[in-house]
Structure 1
């Protein structure tokens, strides 16, 4: 029975890449054997070879802190995701409520500046729930308990009173 390698090919050739024998790809130990230096500053100096740049943390302490931070990142639990979805839905309904409520309000002034300021305040009120949710989500990435606390505070503070109380309350 023949192996199919009658041309004298080596079976290990299938496991190699073209250019594996390139001397510029030698590791530090192999470079020392060939007479080349592993780095221009000398081995163990902590300096990268000439022409190289360090990416990531520059010191071992920073590298360990970055690795620890990456290891402590925990995936968001199912309960947290469902809660965020519920809060997102509440804030979406609040935005819609403020939009409908702002459309019902009659502008009480005839001065151009006062009218502009009143309209600006109405549209900022419409945008407030969406902005509150986005900013809370962004600023409390590392503190999930604080995130839910601030989202709950926003649910209480941003109730669309103009929608709930009906038109004609502001006169």
Structure 2
């Protein structure tokens, strides 16, 4: 006898798997865990057909394979605390950009000379662009710790002091 079609709609193949935690269901094919020692795995996965006496450089073949192995490694996920800190610092940098923008719009050029006026205006607009550029470059920094250090240093250095002190009012 076949089961009732209503029961089939509420079941999924593999629901009765005892290895699943309560409330969890298997989705997709099983994925193998990453190997702890990538160097030995990459060396064992190298093709055996490469002959040392064959034309071409075997070292360049291995060098070409290394970036592919590096791209195949799973990237470490950003933790919750780090995401919150990055969000707060992104907000600070956004406020700094707005502060420098208000400063650039309110400040009048001193009117000493044409070159001096142009350089003063250029400096004001570069100050507006400094905070987003610093944030973008710091996010490209190497590790997590260096990224956060550069962002905190930038938050201290790039503060819009003319706006905060009310010089432009």
TM bucket by the smaller chain?
Answer: 0.5 to 0.7
Which residue matches 1:46? 50
Shift of 1:80: 1.2
Which residue matches 1:96? 98
The separation in 2 between residues aligned to 1:109 and 1:164, in whole angstroms, is 24
**CA RMSD, Structure 1 to Structure 2 (Å):** 2.7
Deviations 1:51-101 (A, max 9, x none): xxxxxx822x76468536743631111111111111111000000000111
Which residue matches 1:124? 126
Shift of 1:45: 3.5
Which residue matches 2:157? 157
The separation in 1 between residues aligned to 2:79 and 2:72, in whole angstroms, is 17
Point out the structure with max Rg over C-alpha: 1
Are the equivalent residues in 2 in contact too, given 1:133–1:151 (CA < 8 A)?
yes
5 Å-filtered alignment, 1:42-121, equals 44-46=48-50, 58-59=61-62, 63=65, 67=69, 70-71=72-73, 73-121=75-123
The separation in 1 between residues aligned to 2:82 and 2:157, in whole angstroms, is 22
Gaps of 5+ in 1: 1-42, 48-56
The separation in 2 between residues aligned to 1:144 and 1:92, in whole angstroms, is 21
Which residue matches 1:144? 144
Which residue matches 2:33? none
Runs of 4 or more off by more than 3 Å in structure 1?
A: 61-72
- May I ask how many residue pairs the two structures share in their alignment? 115
Shift of 1:118: 0.3
The separation in 2 between residues aligned to 1:151 and 1:92, in whole angstroms, is 13
